[in-house]
Structure 1
Amino acid sequence: MPFVELQTNLPAGAFTDDFVKKLCACAAATLNKPEERMNMVVKPGLPMLMAGSFSPCVMLSVSAIAATDSADKNKEHSAKLFEFLTRELGLPEDRIVVLFHALQPHQVGKKGTVMSFL
């Protein structure tokens, strides 16, 4: 049950339903998780400063159980996500940051319990 949150200063018009579906498919494939288990949110139009500049930028946060828990895995994930974001949004790599968060099953609630018990 991965959680992906894209925060950006790009305008809302840059993020169609098609883009969100493509991002979901990319993240699911990258993390080796089924698309129907993905949770996505895109937050456009934010006041953002990255590396001292207000130029267009993206911060992508990826949280998952057993998929983001090592440097080797995250290096592979990062390469695939950067390729997608640079291609789809036309941003250079230095205007994109990806944050990885390793989750434990007891840290994710669902159906009135936590994933440890599902």
Structure 2
Amino acid sequence: MPFIDLQSNLPAPNFSDDFLKKLCACAAAALDKPQERMNVVVHPGLPIMIAGSCSPGVVLSVSAISVTDTADKNKQHSAKIFEFLTRELNLTEDRIVIQFHALQPHQVGKKGTVMSFL
């Protein structure tokens, strides 16, 4: 049940429903998870500074159980997600930052309980 949280200073029209579907598909493929288990949120039009510049950019957080817990895994995820974001948003790699968060099953609630019990 991965969570993708994209924050950007790009305006909302850059993030159509089509973009969200493509981002979901990209992240699901990168993390080897089914799309129907993905959770994607986009926050456009935010004041953001990356590396001392307010030029267009993205800060993306990826939180998941079991698939974001090693450097080797995250290196592979990062490459796939960077390729997607640079292509779809016409950004250079220096304008994108990705944070990976390893979640434990007891940290994710669903259906009135936590994933540990599902």
Range of TM-score over shorter length:
over 0.9
Paired residue for 1:50?
A: 50
Unaligned ranges ≥5, structure 2: none
Q: What is aligned with 2:6?
A: 6
Runs (4+) of structure 1 exceeding 4 A deviation are: none
Tell me which residue corresponds to 1:99: 99
How many equivalent pairs are there?
A: 118
Q: Deviations over 1:15-74 (max 9, x none)?
A: 110000000000000000000000000000001111111100000100000010000000
Q: For residue 116 of structure 2, what is the aligned residue in structure 1?
A: 116
Q: How far is the alpha carbon of 1:11 from its aligned partner?
A: 0.2
| Counterparts of 1:48 and 1:79, CA distance in 2 | 22
SS of residue in 1 equivalent to 2:56: coil
- Root mean square deviation of aligned Cα: 0.4
- Measured against aligned partners, the alpha-carbon deviations of 1:91-112 in whole angstroms (never above 9, x if no partner) come to 0000000000000000001111
CA distance in 1, matches of 2:13, 2:34: 27
Q: Quote the Cα distance in structure 2 between the aligned partners of 1:21 and 1:28.
A: 10
Counterpart residue identity of residue 104, structure 1: Q
